[in-house]
Each structure stands twice: as C-alpha cells, then as structure tokens.
Structure 1
Amino acid sequence: MLTLAIQRPKIATQAQREVRRLDREEVALIRACQQGSEEAFRGLVERYQRRTYWIAYNMLGNYDLAADISQEAFLRVYKAINRFDIQRNFYTWLYQIVVNLCIDHMRKESNGRPARLDDVAEPPDVDARPAGAGVESQEVREAVHRVLAKLAHNYKTVLVLRDLQGMTCEEIAEVVGANNATVRWRLHIARKMFKDAWEAAHPAKAEE
C-alpha cells in the first residue's frame, strides 16, 4: 500500500509570532516614512536609537562620539529612506551605516590624535546597557576599549557586534558585506587577538 508522508504545518511559537508582528509594524513604519511621515520616522528612531548608540560606543569607546554617530546615522537614514528596499532587513542596513561611520571616524583619528575615553560614569540619555555588554564598571569598560582599539577595524567590528552586541554571524555578515564563513573566521582571529592583547596588558589578571 502506498503511503503518503504528510508534512504537518509547523505551529509558530509565541516568540516567532511576536517577531512577525514586529516585522509587520516595522514595514508599516518604513512605508509611512517613505510617504513623508515624520511621526513614523520618530517611531523607527525610538525603536533603534539605544542599539545604535551602544554599537557606536563599543566601536569608539566614547560616549559623546557615540551620540554624535547615532544621530548622524539616523540623519542619513532619513535622507535615504525613500530609496530603501523594503525586502531588506532595516536593522542591518541601519547598523551598517553606524559601523561605516565609526570606521570612517577611526580612520581619521588614526591619522591624528587618538580619541580619549570619556571620564563620565554613565552615558547620557541611555537608561540601560545592551544584553551581553559584559562590562561592570567604568574602569573595566575603559580597559576593554583600550584593548579593542588595538585591533584592526575588520576584526574589531565583528568582535563588537558578536560578543558585545549579541548579533548572530548571519546578521553580522549582512552588516559588513561578507559571507558567513568569513565572519566566523574573522571572529575567531579577533577573539585570539583580543585575548593576547588583554593578557599582555593585564598579566596579573591573566594568571588568576
């Protein structure tokens, strides 16, 4: 007797349904922005401003610069939103803009005086750190960013996005314009470089 293998439809979990609902909301906001709605654009800013701020901070190690970069990124989004392809992931497009602005700034700084880390204890206008930030004090944050500053931009970027921002390698690949295998290879190298630089800068802590 011939039997047919009937594949039952997968039942979406509550988390998956929530993601789809949020995606629909985001698409609606983007379409409204493309039609000139400033209120919709404010909705996108409110949704992503904290994340863009922390990406910029972890790339640059400076609160004021992070605020400036985040603001500039949203300004560029506002100017280019009419050309945005709705089939793309908005957040990876936005984060790509943030990362590129950070890299441009670091390249300019490398030709002059390095940027100093801020002395303020808490960042302005941000009431929570991202999950996985992994730094518990101002002293440790500064130490981490001093070591990150030693890494080449392509390695630093994947390390920040993966280990400090919690993005997947697939998401990072979209942001940096590389394939998944390249991102994983860079991440492996970046982690080793960070470990070696950290142990060289903090030999006593490395032995603990």
Structure 2
Amino acid sequence: MAVPARTLALRAARLFSLAVITLYPFAVWYGITHGRPDRVALALAGIFLLRLLVFRGLLPALNWLAKALALFGILLCAASWLLKSHHLLLWYPVMMSGLMLALFSASLFSRASMVERLARLREPWLSPRAIAYTRRVTQAWCLFFIINGGAALFTCLYGDMSLWALYNGVISYLLMGLLMGTEWIIRKRIQPGG
C-alpha cells in the first residue's frame, strides 16, 4: 500500500527540522564567525517554526516539550535578529537542558516517571522492580540535565565560540550517548534472562 504524499512530506519535514536543530550549534558558530548571525537567526527561526508545526511525539509530555523548545527557539532567534545581539543565540542549549530538567524532574512527582512512560510504550506491563529502576534512571537524567545545562551556561558566559560549538554540538551529544549506552548495558544485566 502506497504512503500518501502528505504523510511523506510531513515525515521529511520532521526529519529535516530535527537534523537542522541537532546541528544548531554549528549553524550559530558559522553565522557568528563568518559575520552572518542575522541570516542564521532568521533561517533558524524558520526551522523552529517548521518544527513547531510538524512535530508529533509519542507522549503528550514530549509534544509539550518539543513545542516549548521550538517556541523558545523562535523567540531567541527573533530577539537576536531584532536586537542585533547574536549572543542570544548561544542560550538555546541552556534553555533546552532547563526544559528537559523541568519535564523529567516534574515527572518524579507524578504517578509515573518520564522514563517509565517511555518504557511502557514498548512494554505496557512493568514489574515494581522495573518501575523503581525507571525512577532511578529518570533521576540520573535529571542529574545529567543539571550538569549539561551548567556546562552549556559556562560556554555561553566564557565567550569562546569554538568552545561553545564543541561542547554544545559534540561533547554534550557524546555524553548523552554515553549515558544512554550505560543505562542500556545496566538494564540488560538486571533484566531477567538479560
């Protein structure tokens, strides 16, 4: 059965916007170091607007988060362009960590932690041991977002564009991958039959 053209276009737009937002630090670095921060700010505002319009998450909380991040991105880019202050573009990774921290930590005070909600998408029934584990993983992510947000803040305040791009465009993603990989290894070891 053929996939409708509209569905394909939406998928392509989602993938494109995700790819560009992932490369955000390099786009900002390029724009600032090559004297084109205004153009980059406008282009990124357009990408964030596209993300706002096309994102569909698996959970309502993820929809809220993605839309909030896109809206903050639009506001930062627009303020940077209007105020001719390229330094504002550097704050997006800090806000991203702050919003992720808010979402994950708030879930610790609700019926199900964020990691539990994500785990239930794959495995609807979780044992009490698994629920406790997902709670600890959510806490680990909260700690990560505190450290990552602090490091991103430092790179904003330090003022070295190469350091800012390196941390926010490479190191933070590597650390995130390291945390995911470590958690996956631990989960496989503690799962029955794993």
Q: Give the TM-score, by structure 2 length.
A: 0.43
Q: Which has the higher helix share?
A: 2
Q: Give the TM-score, by structure 1 length.
A: 0.41
